[in-house]
Amino acid sequence: MFKVFAMLPADISQPAPPPGIAASGLRVFGAPLVSAPGPARPRILFPPDGAILQVSGQDAPVSLEAAGGTPPYRWAVNGTLLPPAPVGVSMSWRPTGPGFAHIAVIDKNDDAASEDVQMQ
């Protein structure tokens, strides 16, 4: 390891800190903070796009899970918004029987993701 360090140039300069940050890493009073990029767009985690779900009519709810974007999420199936789930309860949807469904999730900023699934 000492040989590797000996091969480095003697004058290694540090990159300049971002605006508003002192060389020590502390924020400079009155300087603007560097803004971080916003959250990623929402995406549907479950059910996955193209999934074939085994359901038995209205007795089998399908769990709906999303990530990314800015919660709270709103869900729509075949263009119809679902009622929000009560606080502390996972979102789910009860298919009416076999067929296809177009599922969409919309976040607080109206960014959306959608997919199609099949029920058997």
Flag whether 111 is in a domain.
yes
Whole-model pTM: value is 0.64
Determine which of 35-39, 70-74, 110-114 has the lowest per-residue pLDDT on average.
35-39
- Picking from 72, 71, 80, the residue whose alpha carbon sits closest to that of residue 104 is 80
Alpha-carbon distances of 29 from 21, 25, 33, 109, rounded to whole Å: 9, 12, 10, 32
Flag whether 105 is in a domain.
yes
CATH number of the domain encompassing residue 53: 2.60.40
Flag whether 10 is in a domain.
no
Return the amino acid letter for 18.
P
**Which residue range forms the structural domain that includes residue 72?**
43-119
pLDDT tens-digit series, residues 41-62: 999 999 999 999 887 655 678 9
Between CA 102 and CA 107 the distance in angstroms is: 17
What pLDDT, on a 0 to 100 scale, did the predictor assign at position 108? 93
Flag whether 16 is in a domain.
no
Flag whether 83 is in a domain.
yes
Flag whether 110 is in a domain.
yes
Q: How confident is the model at residue 97 (pLDDT cuts 50, 70, 90)?
A: confident
Flag whether 15 is in a domain.
no
Question: Which SS3 state, helix, strand or coil, does residue 7 take?
Answer: helix
What pLDDT, on a 0 to 100 scale, did the predictor assign at position 51? 93
Region 78-82: what's the mean pLDDT? 94
Question: How many folded domains does the chain comprise?
Answer: 1
What pLDDT, on a 0 to 100 scale, did the predictor assign at position 79? 93
Q: Are the CB atoms for 73 and 112 separated by under 8 Å?
A: no
Flag whether 60 is in a domain.
yes
Compute and round to an integer the Cα radius of gyration of the chain: 25
33 Cβ contact partners less than 8 Å away, ≥ 6 residues apart = 20, 27
Percent of the chain predicted with pLDDT > 70: 69
What pLDDT, on a 0 to 100 scale, did the predictor assign at position 116? 96
